[in-house]
Chains A and B, each alone.
Chain A
Amino acid sequence: MKRSSRALAALLVSGLALTACSSTGSGGSSDDSGAPAASALDQASGVTTIEFWHSMTGKNAEALTALVNQFNTAHQGKIEVKPLFQGTYDDLIAKYKASVQQKATPAVVQVYDIGSRFMVDSKQIVPAQAFADKDGYSLEDLQANIRNYYSFGGKLQSMPFNSSMPLLYLNEDAFKEAGLDPAKPPTTLAELGDMAKKLTKKDADGKTVRYGFGAAIYGWFVEQLLAENGALYCDSDNGRSGKAGKAAFDSAKGAEIVQWWADLVKGGYAANTGRQTTDAQAAFKAGTVAMHLESTGVLRGYTEAAKFTVGTAAFPKTAADDQGGPIIGGASLWISGPGHSDAQKRASWEFEKFLSAPEQQAAWHTGTGYFPVNTKALDLPADKEWVAKYPQFQTAISQLKATKPTTATAGCALGVMPQARKGVETAIEQTIAGTKSAQQALSDAAKELQPAIESYNSSVG
């Protein structure tokens, strides 16, 4: 009952917004929605330069530079995008905050998934939906779950760009050696635990030479497992129906997940490589762990580096009757409003449309391993060829297709989400060290987070 009335309200609001947009007509300047019409760029004289802040490194940076160059060549004399690398996602957010204070924000900024609520609250952005509505541009081609993640109040706020998902990675050689069938990977945490025990190998001296399981102590995985269960991570429908005021990860389910993890480590069946994802990745590539949780983004690196057959399986569920699915991760692109000319905003939108188009997303997908945000990208020959070459990627495609967009799988939109994630990571460490029970550790983490949530919400007003 409650949900349907809320959906009705959302419909009404979006309907109102639509009529509001259409009533303003196609004036040249920006209206309340903040999105200028296409004419703003046509009327601009000379080259419109836009600064683009991003956090891509290595192969991903190469692929991004290629796309930017392609865009700049296509819009020569009209638009010039200047990409600027700003360090990690965390570094970028810190610099972005400083730029807001100095009133010198970049025109387009790439912000990680868990920074989305902050970006909306910053009131510095023009929603992607506003541009789409103005142009009558269809956003239907964007993958539904990805669109769901970056939508607040039923409106798409930013343009998804690099999306990833968690997968269960398998060392198929280790499976065969242990007499297990890699075609029948574990589907629940309990099964994963059982198989981890069988896959753990000790040498004659009793030293562990291969752990059954190993993943970085990364809060993202707990968020994913809760979403698989269909459970919420914070209140107010994961912060989607209103501002979240309380974390919900300290549930019995959350404790069950953390305890499961800690037990595997304490039992000697899982390697604890700490928080650094690169250390956990190194352990899997070296064959010292047989099953491993990681993002789709590392698949290509694994198949190139590993000396064994790398298999992928759907991210595990917490129990067989789980109704949820994984949350989309990665980052999206935000267009700045205040302090930027209509021509710049318009140029930014053109750039975003370009990056999310099928062809570019196929190039991005095949060049990096990120999941294409545009469903049409998967139909292109280049992309089909790539998936045929790396059949492991099919797992991600099927997994996302099977996931119904819900508030649980939309992920929690908490202003202080990065700190929430850190709190859960600390809780995992405490449970592994045995200083606290999983339930206690998570409750403490939630309690410690509370002042941060409140101070965030009060500064947003």
Chain B
Amino acid sequence: MPTASSPPEPRRRLGEHGLAWAFLLPSVVVFALFILYPLGRTFYLSAHANDLFGAPSRYVGMKHYTDLLSSADFRHTLVTTALFVLFTVVPGVLGALLLVLLMESRIRGVRLLRSAFALPFAFSVASASVVFSVFYNPASGVLNGLLSNLGLGPVGWLTDSKWALLSVAVSTIWMNLGYNVLVLSAGIGSIPGEITEAARLDGASGLRLARSITVPMLGPSLFFLVVISTVNALQSFGQIHILTRGGPDGSTRTLVYSVYEKAFAYGSSDFGTASAQAVVLMVVVLACTAVQFGVLERKVHYA
């Protein structure tokens, strides 16, 4: 009778490994086919010039990358991307937090409010963008109509380079709000009742309760939202494409949109430059996530 500490028979181990691989195989194949291969291909394309049809024609090494570094246009794109992240992530998460905290107070119809605030989650980016484009329309839009009643405006929400990025950011915040509210509501729901109760017994309420108990206990959810929102903001495409196409004067051209423009728009098929930009985007996403895990996560309290 074998003892518990003896290793399993080699044959059985092999069988188990084989079985494990067999189970893993479909996901490995899908992963290799749709993630690894395109990733490798992107690196390959980024080091090649293109022929007329976008096929790689000759090796150019790091040329696309050095060209990007020296391009003022690309620097502008990076700044725009950073601003877009800032304008969407910070108000998106804080706004959702505020709504969720307000909904904590026992008011009538809070369930209805909760569903209402979660509703944007059900909208597709495309349909929400179309709705916003109607709001923003310079000649017949609702927003300028309201402003003119106040004796203000008209503002070129999407046609003025000072406003366009902000307008796209506002639409993005709205689109993300539903998801953010859902996540934070769930987070609040999972805060153990005895902690809140103990705090209340100690006389904490309102702001004090929120600041010292609810928000710290929401740490993991908030951290999750910041990471996810940042990645989402960096990858936003639909609303930019529908609302502004990167304009006016490139003021809403984020990194992803720039990749699209170089590769497909305006009859361009510069897959080399587009791939180099895609690699830069990947590095930016990795760096953001790494920094967030390195700095923010230390401050997160996991209950």
Please pick, from A419, A429, A430, A433, the residue contacting B267 in the complex, using a CB distance under 8 A.
A419
Complex-state Cα separation, A115 to B268, whole angstroms: 11
Convert A430-460 into 0s and 1s, putting 1 for each residue whose CB lies closer than 8 angstroms to a CB of B. Answer: 1001010000000000001000100110011
Residues of A within 8 A of B162 (CB): 433
Q: How large is the interface on A (under 10, 10 to 19, 20 to 34, 35 or more residues)?
A: 35 or more
B53 touches A288 (CB 8 A): no
- Chain B residues 41-59 with CB under 8 Å of chain A are 49-55, 57
Query: By CB atoms of chain A within 10 A, which of B138, B244, B250 has the most?
Result: B138
Chain B contact residues, majority secondary structure? loop
Q: Total A-B pairs in contact (CB under 8 Å)?
A: 104
| B245 on the A face (CB < 8 A) | yes
- Say if the beta carbon of B235 comes within 8 Å of chain A: no
For the complex, is B27 an interface residue (Cβ under 8 Å from A)? no
Please judge, given known A-B contacts A93-B267, A282-B140, whether A275 and B53 are in contact too, CB under 8 Å: no
**Which residues of chain B (31-75) have a CB below 8 Å from chain A?**
49-55, 57, 73
Secondary structure of the A side of the interface? helix
Structural contact, B161 and A456, CB atoms closer than 8 A: no
Q: Contact string, A267-297, partner B, CB cutoff 8 A, digits 1/0?
A: 0000111110001001100101100000000
Q: Which residues of chain B have C-beta atoms less than 8 A from A459's C-beta?
A: 49-52, 57
CA distance A101 to B54 in the complex (A): 8
Contact B53 A122 (CB under 8 A): yes
For A433, what are the chain B residues with a Cβ–Cβ distance below 8 Å? 160-162, 248-249
Q: CB of A121 within 8 A of chain B?
A: yes
Min C-beta distance of A204 to chain B, whole Å: 11
**In the docked arrangement, what's the CA distance between A273 and B138, Å?**
6
Smallest CB gap from A420: residue in B: B266
Q: CB within 8 A of A429: which of B50, B249, B266?
A: B249
Query: Do A456 and B139 have beta carbons less than 8 Å apart?
Result: no
Please give me the residue from chain B that is nearest to A283 by CB atom: B139
Can you name the residue of chain A whose Cβ is closest to the Cβ of B157?
Answer: A274
A279 to B159, CA, bound (A): 11
B74 shortest CB reach to chain A, Å: 12
Query: Does the CB pair A90–B139 fall under 8 Å?
Result: no
Decide: A419 and B266 in contact? CB cutoff 8 A: yes
Tell me if B238 counts as interface (CB < 8 A to partner A): no
A389 part of interface (Cβ distance < 8 Å):
no
Which of B247, B250, B265 is close to A90, meaning CB atoms less than 8 Å apart? Answer: B265
Contact A456 to B140, CB < 8 A, known contacts A207-B148, A416-B267? no
CB distance from A167 to the nearest CB of B (A): 20
CB distance from B265 to the nearest CB of A (A): 6
Question: Given A90-B267, A272-B159, A279 and B53 touching (CB < 8 A)?
Answer: no
Whether B139 pairs with A282 at a CB distance below 8 angstroms is yes
Question: In the bound complex, do residue A97 and residue B54 qualify as a contact, i.e. CB atoms below 8 Å apart?
Answer: yes
Beta-carbon contact of B73 and A448 below 8 Å: yes
Chain B interface (Cβ < 8 Å from any Cβ of A): 49-55, 57, 73, 137-140, 148, 151, 154, 156, 158-162, 244-245, 247-250, 264-270
28 example contacts (A-B, Cβ-Cβ < 8 A) are as follows A90-B264, A90-B267, A97-B53, A98-B54, A101-B54, A118-B52, A122-B52, A122-B53, A207-B151, A273-B138, A274-B156, A274-B244, A275-B248, A282-B137, A282-B139, A282-B140, A283-B139, A416-B267, A416-B268, A418-B266, A418-B267, A418-B268, A419-B267, A422-B266, A426-B250, A429-B248, A459-B50, A459-B57
Measured CB to CB, the residues of A under 8 A from B are: 90-91, 93-94, 97-98, 100-101, 114-115, 118, 121-122, 205, 207-208, 214, 217, 271-275, 279, 282-283, 286, 288-289, 416-419, 421-422, 425-426, 429-430, 433, 435, 448, 452, 455-456, 459-460
